[in-house]
Amino acid sequence: MSQNHSVGGLQGWTRRDALKTVAAGALAACAMPEGMLAAEEKKIGISVQLYSVRDACAKGFDEVLEKIAKMGFGGVEFAGYHSYGGKPNELKKRLDDLGLKATGTHMGAGALRGDALKGTIDFHQKIGCKYIICPGDGAFGDPVKSKEFAETFNKAMEQLKPLGMACGYHNHTEIAKIDPETKKSYWDLFAERTTPDVVLQQDCGWSAAAGLDPAEVIKRHPGRTKIPHFKPTMVKGKGGKRAIFGEDSVNWKDVIAACYAVGGTEWFVIEQEAYPDGKSSLECTELSLAGLKKMLTEMGKG
Protein backbone atom coordinates (compact mmCIF):
# COMPACT_ATOMS: atom_id res chain seq x y z
CA MET A 1 0.00 0.00 0.00
CA SER A 2 1.42 3.40 -0.94
CA GLN A 3 1.52 6.14 1.66
CA ASN A 4 -0.98 8.25 -0.33
CA HIS A 5 -3.57 5.49 -0.66
CA SER A 6 -6.82 6.37 1.13
CA VAL A 7 -7.78 4.21 4.11
CA GLY A 8 -11.38 3.17 4.72
CA GLY A 9 -12.57 5.42 1.89
CA LEU A 10 -11.46 8.66 3.60
CA GLN A 11 -9.89 10.92 0.98
CA GLY A 12 -6.54 12.37 1.94
CA TRP A 13 -6.20 10.02 4.91
CA THR A 14 -2.74 8.53 4.46
CA ARG A 15 -1.02 5.54 5.99
CA ARG A 16 1.23 7.96 7.87
CA ASP A 17 -1.86 9.68 9.31
CA ALA A 18 -3.24 6.33 10.41
CA LEU A 19 -0.01 5.42 12.16
CA LYS A 20 0.03 8.78 13.92
CA THR A 21 -3.51 8.18 15.14
CA VAL A 22 -2.64 4.72 16.45
CA ALA A 23 0.39 6.14 18.25
CA ALA A 24 -1.69 8.93 19.75
CA GLY A 25 -4.26 6.40 20.91
CA ALA A 26 -1.57 4.32 22.57
CA LEU A 27 -0.22 7.39 24.38
CA ALA A 28 -3.72 8.32 25.51
CA ALA A 29 -4.21 4.80 26.85
CA CYS A 30 -0.96 5.09 28.80
CA ALA A 31 -2.21 8.35 30.28
CA MET A 32 -5.42 6.78 31.59
CA PRO A 33 -5.78 6.47 35.36
CA GLU A 34 -4.13 3.37 36.76
CA GLY A 35 -6.38 0.33 36.60
CA MET A 36 -8.82 1.79 34.04
CA LEU A 37 -7.64 -0.42 31.20
CA ALA A 38 -7.74 -3.52 33.36
CA ALA A 39 -11.26 -2.65 34.51
CA GLU A 40 -12.40 -2.22 30.90
CA GLU A 41 -10.81 -5.45 29.73
CA LYS A 42 -11.82 -7.59 32.67
CA LYS A 43 -15.09 -9.46 32.46
CA ILE A 44 -16.48 -11.37 35.41
CA GLY A 45 -19.19 -13.79 34.37
CA ILE A 46 -22.31 -14.74 36.30
CA SER A 47 -22.95 -18.36 37.21
CA VAL A 48 -25.42 -20.14 39.48
CA GLN A 49 -24.98 -22.97 41.95
CA LEU A 50 -27.67 -25.42 40.90
CA TYR A 51 -28.35 -26.28 44.53
CA SER A 52 -30.36 -23.05 44.39
CA VAL A 53 -32.99 -24.81 42.29
CA ARG A 54 -32.55 -28.36 43.58
CA ASP A 55 -36.29 -28.97 43.84
CA ALA A 56 -36.77 -28.12 40.17
CA CYS A 57 -33.68 -30.13 39.18
CA ALA A 58 -35.16 -33.22 40.79
CA LYS A 59 -38.23 -32.89 38.57
CA GLY A 60 -36.50 -32.10 35.29
CA PHE A 61 -32.79 -31.36 35.12
CA ASP A 62 -32.66 -30.68 31.38
CA GLU A 63 -35.55 -28.26 31.64
CA VAL A 64 -33.83 -26.40 34.47
CA LEU A 65 -30.60 -26.03 32.49
CA GLU A 66 -32.61 -24.57 29.63
CA LYS A 67 -34.40 -22.12 31.93
CA ILE A 68 -31.13 -21.08 33.55
CA ALA A 69 -29.64 -20.33 30.14
CA LYS A 70 -32.71 -18.31 29.11
CA MET A 71 -32.49 -16.25 32.31
CA GLY A 72 -29.10 -15.02 31.15
CA PHE A 73 -26.64 -16.97 33.26
CA GLY A 74 -23.33 -17.71 31.57
CA GLY A 75 -22.41 -20.70 33.68
CA VAL A 76 -23.51 -23.29 36.20
CA GLU A 77 -21.90 -24.84 39.25
CA PHE A 78 -22.88 -28.42 39.97
CA ALA A 79 -23.90 -30.13 43.19
CA GLY A 80 -24.89 -33.40 41.50
CA TYR A 81 -25.57 -34.40 37.92
CA HIS A 82 -28.98 -36.11 38.01
CA SER A 83 -29.55 -37.92 34.69
CA TYR A 84 -26.01 -37.03 33.54
CA GLY A 85 -24.22 -38.93 36.29
CA GLY A 86 -21.43 -40.90 34.62
CA LYS A 87 -22.18 -39.21 31.28
CA PRO A 88 -19.73 -36.30 31.07
CA ASN A 89 -19.63 -36.16 27.27
CA GLU A 90 -23.41 -35.90 27.05
CA LEU A 91 -23.44 -33.23 29.75
CA LYS A 92 -20.77 -31.19 27.94
CA LYS A 93 -22.79 -31.33 24.72
CA ARG A 94 -25.90 -30.17 26.55
CA LEU A 95 -24.03 -27.26 28.11
CA ASP A 96 -22.52 -26.30 24.76
CA ASP A 97 -25.92 -26.39 23.08
CA LEU A 98 -27.26 -24.00 25.73
CA GLY A 99 -24.23 -21.72 25.74
CA LEU A 100 -23.38 -22.54 29.36
CA LYS A 101 -19.98 -23.10 30.98
CA ALA A 102 -19.30 -25.50 33.84
CA THR A 103 -17.74 -23.02 36.26
CA GLY A 104 -17.25 -25.39 39.17
CA THR A 105 -18.49 -28.42 41.05
CA HIS A 106 -19.09 -29.25 44.69
CA MET A 107 -17.73 -32.62 45.77
CA GLY A 108 -16.58 -34.26 48.98
CA ALA A 109 -12.89 -34.14 49.85
CA GLY A 110 -12.65 -37.85 49.07
CA ALA A 111 -12.85 -36.97 45.37
CA LEU A 112 -9.42 -35.33 45.72
CA ARG A 113 -7.68 -38.26 47.37
CA GLY A 114 -5.86 -41.33 46.08
CA ASP A 115 -7.23 -43.21 43.10
CA ALA A 116 -10.48 -41.19 43.18
CA LEU A 117 -8.65 -38.09 41.95
CA LYS A 118 -7.96 -39.63 38.55
CA GLY A 119 -11.66 -40.18 37.94
CA THR A 120 -12.47 -36.71 39.25
CA ILE A 121 -9.99 -35.14 36.85
CA ASP A 122 -11.27 -37.16 33.90
CA PHE A 123 -14.90 -36.17 34.51
CA HIS A 124 -14.07 -32.49 34.95
CA GLN A 125 -11.90 -32.35 31.85
CA LYS A 126 -14.69 -33.87 29.80
CA ILE A 127 -17.27 -31.31 30.95
CA GLY A 128 -14.77 -28.45 30.57
CA CYS A 129 -14.65 -27.57 34.26
CA LYS A 130 -11.43 -26.53 35.97
CA TYR A 131 -12.60 -25.87 39.54
CA ILE A 132 -13.35 -28.65 42.06
CA ILE A 133 -14.67 -27.31 45.36
CA CYS A 134 -15.18 -29.10 48.67
CA PRO A 135 -18.02 -27.60 50.72
CA GLY A 136 -18.37 -27.56 54.50
CA ASP A 137 -16.18 -30.42 55.75
CA GLY A 138 -15.98 -30.97 59.52
CA ALA A 139 -12.22 -31.52 59.35
CA PHE A 140 -11.74 -27.94 58.18
CA GLY A 141 -12.38 -26.50 61.64
CA ASP A 142 -11.02 -29.37 63.72
CA PRO A 143 -7.94 -28.57 65.87
CA VAL A 144 -6.43 -31.98 65.14
CA LYS A 145 -7.55 -32.72 61.59
CA SER A 146 -7.39 -29.27 59.96
CA LYS A 147 -3.69 -29.40 59.02
CA GLU A 148 -3.97 -32.80 57.33
CA PHE A 149 -7.16 -31.61 55.65
CA ALA A 150 -5.28 -28.69 54.08
CA GLU A 151 -2.61 -31.09 52.82
CA THR A 152 -5.30 -32.94 50.86
CA PHE A 153 -5.65 -29.86 48.66
CA ASN A 154 -1.90 -29.32 48.30
CA LYS A 155 -1.37 -32.90 47.16
CA ALA A 156 -4.27 -32.71 44.71
CA MET A 157 -2.87 -29.50 43.25
CA GLU A 158 0.32 -31.34 42.28
CA GLN A 159 -1.77 -33.14 39.66
CA LEU A 160 -4.33 -30.42 38.96
CA LYS A 161 -2.09 -27.41 38.37
CA PRO A 162 -0.25 -28.81 35.31
CA LEU A 163 -3.68 -29.42 33.76
CA GLY A 164 -4.86 -25.85 34.32
CA MET A 165 -7.25 -27.00 37.06
CA ALA A 166 -7.59 -26.22 40.75
CA CYS A 167 -9.36 -27.36 43.89
CA GLY A 168 -10.63 -25.32 46.79
CA TYR A 169 -12.81 -25.04 49.87
CA HIS A 170 -16.26 -23.50 50.37
CA ASN A 171 -17.14 -22.13 53.80
CA HIS A 172 -20.23 -22.12 55.92
CA THR A 173 -20.29 -20.25 59.26
CA GLU A 174 -17.15 -22.12 60.37
CA ILE A 175 -15.23 -19.44 58.46
CA ALA A 176 -15.22 -17.44 61.71
CA LYS A 177 -14.20 -20.33 63.97
CA ILE A 178 -10.94 -19.70 65.86
CA ASP A 179 -8.19 -22.28 66.35
CA PRO A 180 -7.46 -22.49 70.10
CA GLU A 181 -3.70 -22.89 69.63
CA THR A 182 -2.89 -20.22 67.03
CA LYS A 183 -5.80 -17.86 67.82
CA LYS A 184 -6.30 -17.53 64.07
CA SER A 185 -9.47 -18.31 62.15
CA TYR A 186 -9.48 -21.68 60.43
CA TRP A 187 -10.10 -19.81 57.17
CA ASP A 188 -6.85 -17.89 57.53
CA LEU A 189 -5.04 -21.04 58.66
CA PHE A 190 -6.30 -22.94 55.63
CA ALA A 191 -5.05 -20.12 53.42
CA GLU A 192 -1.62 -20.23 55.10
CA ARG A 193 -1.36 -24.01 54.91
CA THR A 194 -2.30 -24.32 51.25
CA THR A 195 -0.52 -23.14 48.13
CA PRO A 196 -1.71 -19.88 46.54
CA ASP A 197 -3.35 -21.88 43.73
CA VAL A 198 -5.88 -23.45 46.09
CA VAL A 199 -9.16 -21.59 45.70
CA LEU A 200 -10.88 -19.92 48.65
CA GLN A 201 -14.52 -20.04 47.60
CA GLN A 202 -15.99 -17.65 50.10
CA ASP A 203 -19.73 -17.93 50.57
CA CYS A 204 -20.30 -14.26 51.28
CA GLY A 205 -23.75 -14.85 52.72
CA TRP A 206 -22.48 -17.35 55.28
CA SER A 207 -19.60 -15.00 56.13
CA ALA A 208 -22.02 -12.15 56.79
CA ALA A 209 -24.18 -14.46 58.89
CA ALA A 210 -21.07 -15.33 60.94
CA GLY A 211 -20.52 -11.63 61.67
CA LEU A 212 -17.70 -11.05 59.19
CA ASP A 213 -17.25 -8.46 56.45
CA PRO A 214 -16.98 -10.54 53.24
CA ALA A 215 -15.11 -7.78 51.40
CA GLU A 216 -12.41 -7.69 54.07
CA VAL A 217 -12.09 -11.47 53.92
CA ILE A 218 -11.41 -11.21 50.18
CA LYS A 219 -8.77 -8.53 50.72
CA ARG A 220 -6.86 -10.68 53.21
CA HIS A 221 -6.10 -13.28 50.54
CA PRO A 222 -5.56 -11.56 47.17
CA GLY A 223 -6.08 -13.55 44.01
CA ARG A 224 -7.78 -16.53 45.63
CA THR A 225 -11.45 -15.57 45.28
CA LYS A 226 -11.92 -17.10 41.83
CA ILE A 227 -15.57 -18.14 42.10
CA PRO A 228 -17.21 -16.62 45.20
CA HIS A 229 -20.75 -17.44 46.20
CA PHE A 230 -23.15 -14.53 46.21
CA LYS A 231 -25.85 -15.75 48.56
CA PRO A 232 -28.57 -13.22 49.41
CA THR A 233 -28.77 -13.30 53.21
CA MET A 234 -30.79 -11.56 55.86
CA VAL A 235 -28.70 -10.81 58.97
CA LYS A 236 -30.45 -9.71 62.15
CA GLY A 237 -29.79 -6.06 62.92
CA LYS A 238 -28.16 -5.39 59.53
CA GLY A 239 -31.17 -4.13 57.62
CA GLY A 240 -32.48 -5.38 54.33
CA LYS A 241 -35.91 -6.20 52.98
CA ARG A 242 -35.77 -9.80 51.79
CA ALA A 243 -33.28 -12.48 50.70
CA ILE A 244 -33.05 -11.37 47.08
CA PHE A 245 -29.75 -10.05 45.79
CA GLY A 246 -29.48 -6.31 46.38
CA GLU A 247 -32.43 -6.30 48.77
CA ASP A 248 -30.77 -8.28 51.57
CA SER A 249 -28.37 -7.36 54.40
CA VAL A 250 -25.02 -7.92 52.67
CA ASN A 251 -23.01 -4.91 51.48
CA TRP A 252 -22.59 -6.34 47.99
CA LYS A 253 -21.08 -3.25 46.42
CA ASP A 254 -18.06 -3.54 48.70
CA VAL A 255 -17.82 -7.25 47.91
CA ILE A 256 -17.97 -6.65 44.16
CA ALA A 257 -15.37 -3.89 44.41
CA ALA A 258 -13.02 -6.21 46.31
CA CYS A 259 -13.53 -8.96 43.75
CA TYR A 260 -12.54 -6.61 40.95
CA ALA A 261 -9.66 -4.99 42.83
CA VAL A 262 -7.88 -7.95 44.42
CA GLY A 263 -9.99 -11.11 44.23
CA GLY A 264 -8.78 -12.50 40.93
CA THR A 265 -12.46 -13.29 40.40
CA GLU A 266 -13.62 -15.06 37.23
CA TRP A 267 -17.26 -15.77 38.06
CA PHE A 268 -19.84 -14.45 40.49
CA VAL A 269 -21.81 -17.53 41.57
CA ILE A 270 -25.34 -16.83 42.78
CA GLU A 271 -26.62 -19.28 45.36
CA GLN A 272 -30.24 -18.83 46.37
CA GLU A 273 -31.22 -20.67 49.54
CA ALA A 274 -34.18 -18.57 50.66
CA TYR A 275 -37.39 -18.19 48.70
CA PRO A 276 -39.32 -15.18 50.05
CA ASP A 277 -42.90 -14.15 49.35
CA GLY A 278 -43.95 -17.65 48.36
CA LYS A 279 -41.98 -17.50 45.12
CA SER A 280 -40.43 -20.59 43.55
CA SER A 281 -36.72 -21.33 43.61
CA LEU A 282 -36.46 -20.50 39.91
CA GLU A 283 -38.33 -17.20 40.35
CA CYS A 284 -36.12 -16.13 43.25
CA THR A 285 -32.96 -17.12 41.41
CA GLU A 286 -34.02 -15.03 38.42
CA LEU A 287 -34.80 -12.06 40.68
CA SER A 288 -31.35 -12.30 42.25
CA LEU A 289 -29.73 -12.43 38.82
CA ALA A 290 -31.60 -9.26 37.88
CA GLY A 291 -30.50 -7.65 41.14
CA LEU A 292 -26.85 -8.48 40.52
CA LYS A 293 -26.96 -7.21 36.94
CA LYS A 294 -28.62 -3.99 38.10
CA MET A 295 -25.94 -3.42 40.72
CA LEU A 296 -23.11 -4.13 38.29
CA THR A 297 -24.61 -1.60 35.88
CA GLU A 298 -24.88 1.00 38.67
CA MET A 299 -21.20 0.40 39.46
CA GLY A 300 -20.19 0.79 35.82
CA LYS A 301 -19.30 -2.87 35.52
CA GLY A 302 -22.36 -4.16 33.70
3-class SS shares of the chain: helix, strand, coil, % to 5: 50, 15, 35
Predicted pLDDT at 159: 99
Query: Which candidate, 138, 127, 106, places its Cα nearest to that of 229?
Result: 106
* pLDDT bracket for residue 149 (50, 70, 90): very high
The mean per-residue pLDDT over the stretch 258-277 comes to 98
The proportion of the chain whose per-residue pLDDT surpasses 90, expressed as a percent, equals 85
Q: Report pLDDT digits (tens) over 72-120.
A: 999 999 999 999 999 999 999 999 999 999 999 999 999 999 999 999 9
Query: Which candidate, 169, 155, 142, 163, places its Cα nearest to that of 113?
Result: 155
Predicted pLDDT at 40: 54
Is the pLDDT assigned to residue 297 strictly greater than 80? yes
Q: Report pLDDT digits (tens) over 153-191.
A: 999 999 999 999 999 999 999 999 999 999 999 999 999
226 vs 10, residue with greater confidence: 226
Predicted pLDDT at 3: 34
For 4-67, give the secondary structure using H, E and C.
Answer: CCCECCECCCCHHHHHHHHHHHHHHHHCCCCCHHHHHHCCCEEEEEHHHHHHHHHHCHHHHHHH
Q: How far, in whole angstroms, is CA 209 from its chain's centroid? A: 19
3-state secondary structure of 180: coil
Is the pLDDT assigned to residue 23 strictly greater than 80? no
Predicted pLDDT at 16: 41
Predicted pLDDT at 42: 79
Q: Report pLDDT digits (tens) over 123-136.
A: 999 999 999 999 99
Buried b vs exposed e over 264-275: b needs ≥16 C-beta within 10 Å?
bbbbbbbbbbbb
Q: Give first-to-last CA distance, the chain, whole Å.
A: 41
Distance (Å, rounded) from C-alpha 135 to C-alpha 43? 26
Backbone angle region of 153, left / alpha / beta, with phi > 0 → left and psi within -120 to 50 → alpha:
alpha
Is the pLDDT assigned to residue 122 strictly greater than 50? yes
- Which residues are paired to 78 by β-bridges? 105
Distance (Å, rounded) from C-alpha 274 to C-alpha 285? 9
Element (H, E) at 195: none
Q: Report pLDDT digits (tens) over 63-74.
A: 999 999 999 999
* pLDDT bracket for residue 29 (50, 70, 90): very low
